[in-house]
């Protein structure tokens, strides 16, 4: 009797226990299939594209940035070809023709990386079967400016040239998955509505040492010079001689990394500042002469007689005129070929070769950019006949503009070869410092006394010598002109010249060093003092006004 | 004679009733616990929704920031600034301007002596005239 009375409670307790057990099994330890199905109702894993990191100049101005865009595709099973004409102004014509007819499958892309004004118009059409995904597009807000240094990316945001290629491992962030919530109707409770992807953040940074304002001056004045002299190419390098920090680097012809049509001309893609090898001509003379003075082969009291031409082995080397009695200072100031050839006549080729290698010629400078050339240096065992003489006047040796600028910096900074650097710092995703550009002394090339002496000689070249048209009153420019012939198959090409000017200012404590090279001017003038020096002067004038 | 038996609640019945109450309370507590769990689950869902909404806003703001930064970089482009200054503001090339480097004033001499030197006569007038003419040219440029 008592058991019967208790039984309802026992049954209730058993029922509750069973219920609790079931609740426990469902809530705490469900069947994996149930867990998976329930999860799919609440959560979804989506493919997320991350933008590339930013490239900035030394003042923090963005030079390359990723901006959000939309890529459109259609699902042919839901698409009405009759709607195609509505997109005629918004997508490429070939794609438009394709979607005007029947298409198989479930996915057909119609436009990639469409910018907001147009993409908004496409979305507002609300066409059935038209879908879109979010992507980022690489944008270069300054257009052609610094295009060779920055480089460009492919359609999938992988770096193909310049800093974009060199630092691709830092800038590029691969697509990743992200779990996002869905509401009771199965819609995404997140930003992707109704697209299928969204973007992740990427705070990686490449900060260059380039100053946008100086770069603009460099490019503008160089372009004016190229147009005026109808030159085929040009390059300019501006750096801080005491540290090797590159403040500007220009190359013409150039391209607009935002416009792929400008990539068609292969010459425009070449960075002439680091990838063009040319014979420097007389701009090499100060470096050679400094070596002779440092070695004691030439002193300030040495004199030579310039008669306008000299026979060396099987070659006759000419000068513009017979300069008469010359000392080392006037040889540099008047750019006397005969004086240089006479001075190096007894030099040891192996010693000169070793010196030129210590200058950095024949080696990569190590600047943080792809595509750098090492130049051309004949080994001293092959320096026969007139080769040592021609090298002393900057022929028979191939250098890049950056190599020449770095070597001349040693005169400006007291005798040190500095490793050039164009990257200030690199921060990987998350903000960790990955690389920092610092001044690095590669070698002690010249004594401070010789460097000082050569600075004075180069100042004289600008005040009274061949570089007078580079002088800027008040700026105290020191420099050297150069006019080199262009080698071709079987000899030097007639009518082809490479005028150049390398200089620094103020000459007694240089803050800037600038090299200007103009390739193959066709307008008549071809001398460095007539073609490159005026461009140099105009750049110095502009820089002095803002610095 | 009728006899009545008075049945008084015995101790066992009292215990049985007491147990029933306990069971009811226990069941109530379990139900309350379950409801609490459901409420917590609903609350967590609400938080998840809020979190997702905030995340969405962050992404939208980041996209807007990217667009603004792109626009800013375009506006700061020196080429654009230069061409705007030339075409819209009438800036002209400063071909007639030279650099005037003023030598540092010697600090060795007493101040009053320096002032006397500068204040005496023609040199000071010349310096004032030079400074005025330079500043006029500068303001004319602007």
Using a CB–CB cutoff of 8 Å, tell me whether A199 touches chain B. yes
Using a CB–CB cutoff of 8 Å, tell me whether B78 touches chain A. yes
A200 with A52: CB under 8 angstroms?
no
Q: Predicted ipTM?
A: 0.71
* CA proximity to B63, closest of A119, A339, A220: A119
Q: Who among B52, B60, B66 is closest to A66 (CB)?
A: B66
Q: Answer whether A473 sits within 8 Å of B98, measured CB to CB.
A: yes
pLDDT band (50, 70, 90) for residue A63? very high
Q: What percent of chain B has pLDDT over 70?
A: 52
Q: Answer whether A141 sits within 8 Å of B77, measured CB to CB.
A: yes
Using a CB–CB cutoff of 8 Å, tell me whether B20 touches chain A. yes
* A chain contacts of residue B78, beta-carbon cutoff 8 Å: 142, 145, 212-213, 215-217
Q: Answer whether B99 sits within 8 Å of A201, measured CB to CB.
A: no
- Distance to chain A for B21, nearest Cα, Å: 11
pLDDT digit string (tens) for A293-309?
999 999 888 999 999 88
pLDDT digit string (tens) for B86-107?
888 988 766 655 666 566 555 4
- Residue A522 pLDDT > 60, yes or no? yes
Q: What percent of chain A has pLDDT over 90?
A: 62
Predicted pLDDT of residue A187: 59
Predicted pLDDT of residue A418: 97
pLDDT band (50, 70, 90) for residue B6? low
pLDDT band (50, 70, 90) for residue B48? confident
Using a CB–CB cutoff of 8 Å, tell me whether A14 touches chain B. no
Q: Is A533 exposed, middle or buried (0-12, 13-18, 19+ CB in 10 A)?
A: buried
CA distance A450 to A296: 11
* CATH (one of 3.10.20.740, 3.40.710.10, 3.30.160.620, 3.40.640.10) for A212-259+266-546: 3.40.710.10
Predicted pLDDT of residue A546: 82
* B chain contacts of residue A198, beta-carbon cutoff 8 Å: 59
CA distance A146 to A63: 8
- Distance to chain A for B103, nearest Cα, Å: 11
Of A43-47, A331-335, A465-469, the one with minimum mean pLDDT is A43-47
Predicted pLDDT of residue A373: 96
* A chain contacts of residue B102, beta-carbon cutoff 8 Å: none
What is chain A's alpha carbon radius of gyration, rounded to the nearest angstrom?
34
Predicted pLDDT of residue A470: 95
Using a CB–CB cutoff of 8 Å, tell me whether A61 touches chain B. yes
Task: For chain A, positions 440-469, list CB contacts with chain B under 8 A.
Answer: none
* A chain contacts of residue B16, beta-carbon cutoff 8 Å: 5-6
Q: Who among A16, A54, A473 is closest to B30 (CB)?
A: A16
Strand blocks (E) in A327-377: none
Interface contacts A/B by beta carbons within 8 Å: 96
Highest mean pLDDT among A194-208, A225-239, B62-76: A225-239
* B chain contacts of residue A473, beta-carbon cutoff 8 Å: 98-99
Please give the C-alpha separations between residue A129 and each of A96, A100, A175, A190, in angstroms, as whole numbers. 15, 13, 25, 21
Backbone angle region of A80, left / alpha / beta, with phi > 0 → left and psi within -120 to 50 → alpha = beta
Q: What are the residue ranges spanned by the domains of chain A?
A: 46-208, 212-259+266-546
Query: For A46-208, CATH number?
Result: 3.90.1310.10
Provide φ and ψ at A543, rounded to 5°: -65, -40
Using a CB–CB cutoff of 8 Å, tell me whether A11 touches chain B. no
* A chain contacts of residue B34, beta-carbon cutoff 8 Å: 23
Q: What are the residue ranges spanned by the domains of chain B?
A: 12-91, 95-141
- Residue B1 pLDDT > 90, yes or no? no
Q: Where are the alpha helices (DSSP H) in A236-279?
A: 266-269, 272-275
Q: Give strand pairing partners of A483.
A: A499
Torsion of CA A392, A394, A397, A399, to 10 degrees: 130
Highest mean pLDDT among A9-13, A23-27, B129-133: A9-13
- Distance to chain B for A471, nearest Cα, Å: 12
Of A89-98, A392-401, A480-489, B1-10, the one with minimum mean pLDDT is B1-10
CA distance A523 to A540: 24
Q: Answer whether B78 sits within 8 Å of A212, measured CB to CB.
A: yes
Please give the C-alpha separations between residue A131 and each of A134, B1, B93, in angstroms, as whole numbers. 10, 99, 53
- Average pLDDT score, chain A: 89
Q: Answer whether A141 sits within 8 Å of B74, measured CB to CB.
A: yes
Q: Who among A141, A189, A199 is closest to B70 (CB)?
A: A141
Using a CB–CB cutoff of 8 Å, tell me whether B22 touches chain A. no
Predicted pLDDT of residue A7: 76
Average pLDDT of the segment spanning A140-167? 94
Average pLDDT of the segment spanning A188-201? 49
Q: Answer whether A181 sits within 8 Å of B69, measured CB to CB.
A: no
Q: Which residue of A has its CA nearest to B75?
A: A141
pLDDT band (50, 70, 90) for residue A15? very high
Average pLDDT of the segment spanning B61-87? 88
CA distance A457 to A203: 49
Predicted pLDDT of residue B99: 60
* CA proximity to A168, closest of A197, A196, A202: A202
Tokens of A24: 């426990």
DSSP code of B32? H
Using a CB–CB cutoff of 8 Å, tell me whether B56 touches chain A. yes
Q: Answer whether A139 sits within 8 Å of B27, measured CB to CB.
A: no
Q: Answer whether A545 sits within 8 Å of B94, measured CB to CB.
A: yes
DSSP code of A262? G
**Dihedral sign of CA atoms A270, A274, A278, A283 in order:** positive
- Distance to chain A for B78, nearest Cα, Å: 6
CA distance A173 to A160: 15
- Length of chain A equals 547
Using a CB–CB cutoff of 8 Å, tell me whether A124 touches chain B. no
Q: Which residue of B has its CA nearest to A179?
A: B52
């Amino acid at each position: 009797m008592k058991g019967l009375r208790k039984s309802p409670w026992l049954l209730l307790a058993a029922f509750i226990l069973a219920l609790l057990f079931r609740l426990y099994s469902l809530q705490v330890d469900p069947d994996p299939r149930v867990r998976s199905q329930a999860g799919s109702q609440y959560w979804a894993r989506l493919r997320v594209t991350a933008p590339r990191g930013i490239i900035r100049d030394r003042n923090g101005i963005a030079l390359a940035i990723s901006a959000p865009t939309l890529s459109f595709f259609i699902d042919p099973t839901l698409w009405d070809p009759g709607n195609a004409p509505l997109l005629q102004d918004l997508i490429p014509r070939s794609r438009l023709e394709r979607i005007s007819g029947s298409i198989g499958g479930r996915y057909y892309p119609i436009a990639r990386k469409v910018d907001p004004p147009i993409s908004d118009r496409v979305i507002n059409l609300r066409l059935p079967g038209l879908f879109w995904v979010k992507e980022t597009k690489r944008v270069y807000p300054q257009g052609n400016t610094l295009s060779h240094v920055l480089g460009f990316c492919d359609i999938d945001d992988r770096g193909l040239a310049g800093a974009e290629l060199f630092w691709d491992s830092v800038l590029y962030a691969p697509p990743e998955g992200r779990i996002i919530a869905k509401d009771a109707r199965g819609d995404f409770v997140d930003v992707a509505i109704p697209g299928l992807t969204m973007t992740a953040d990427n705070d990686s940074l490449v900060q260059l040492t380039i100053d946008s304002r100086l770069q603009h001056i460099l490019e503008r004045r160089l372009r004016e010079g190229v147009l005026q002299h109808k030159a085929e190419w040009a390059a300019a390098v501006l750096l801080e001689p005491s540290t090797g920090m590159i403040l500007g680097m220009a190359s013409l012809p150039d391209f607009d990394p935002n416009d792929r049509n400008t990539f068609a001309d292969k010459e425009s893609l070449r960075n002439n500042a680091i990838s063009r090898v040319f014979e420097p001509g007389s701009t090499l003379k100060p470096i050679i002469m400094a070596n002779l003075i440092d070695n004691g082969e030439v002193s300030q009291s040495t004199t030579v007689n310039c008669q306008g031409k000299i026979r060396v082995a099987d070659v006759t080397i000419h000068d513009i005129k017979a300069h008469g009695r010359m000392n080392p200072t006037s040889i540099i100031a008047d750019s006397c070929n005969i004086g240089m050839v006479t001075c190096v006549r007894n030099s040891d080729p192996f010693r000169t070769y070793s010196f030129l290698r210590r200058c950095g010629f024949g080696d990569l400078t190590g600047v943080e950019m792809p595509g750098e050339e090492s130049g051309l240096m004949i080994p001293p065992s092959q320096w026969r006949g007139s080769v040592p003489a021609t090298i002393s006047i900057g022929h028979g040796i191939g250098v890049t503009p950056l190599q020449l600028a770095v070597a001349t910096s040693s005169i400006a900074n007291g005798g040190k070869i500095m490793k050039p650097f164009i990257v200030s710092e690199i921060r990987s995703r998350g903000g960790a410092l990955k690389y920092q550009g610092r001044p690095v002394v590669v070698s002690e090339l010249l004594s401070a006394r010789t460097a000082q002496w050569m600075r004075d000689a180069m100042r004289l070249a600008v005040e009274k010598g061949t570089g007078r048209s580079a002088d800027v009153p008040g700026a105290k420019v020191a420099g050297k002109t150069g006019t080199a012939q262009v080698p071709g198959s079987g000899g030097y090409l007639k009518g082809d010249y490479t005028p150049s000017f390398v200089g620094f200012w103020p000459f007694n404590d240089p803050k800037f060093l600038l090299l200007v090279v103009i390739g193959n001017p066709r307008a008549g003038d071809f001398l460095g003092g007539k073609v490159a020096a005026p461009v140099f002067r105009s750049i110095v004038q502009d820089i002095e006004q803002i610095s | 004679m009728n006899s009545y038996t008075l049945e008084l609640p015995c101790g066992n019945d009292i215990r049985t009733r007491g147990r029933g109450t306990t069971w009811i309370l226990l069941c109530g507590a379990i139900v309350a616990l379950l409801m609490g769990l459901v409420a917590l689950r609903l609350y967590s869902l609400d938080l998840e929704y809020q979190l997702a909404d905030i995340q969405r806003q962050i992404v939208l703001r980041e996209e807007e920031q990217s667009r603004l930064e792109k626009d800013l970089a375009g506006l700061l482009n020196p080429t654009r600034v230069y061409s705007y200054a030339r075409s819209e503001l009438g800036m002209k090339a400063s071909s007639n301007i030279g650099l005037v480097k003023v030598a540092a004033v010697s600090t060795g001499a007493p101040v009053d002596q320096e002032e006397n030197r500068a204040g005496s006569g023609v040199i000071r007038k010349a310096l004032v005239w030079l400074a005025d003419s330079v500043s006029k040219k500068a303001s004319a440029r602007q």
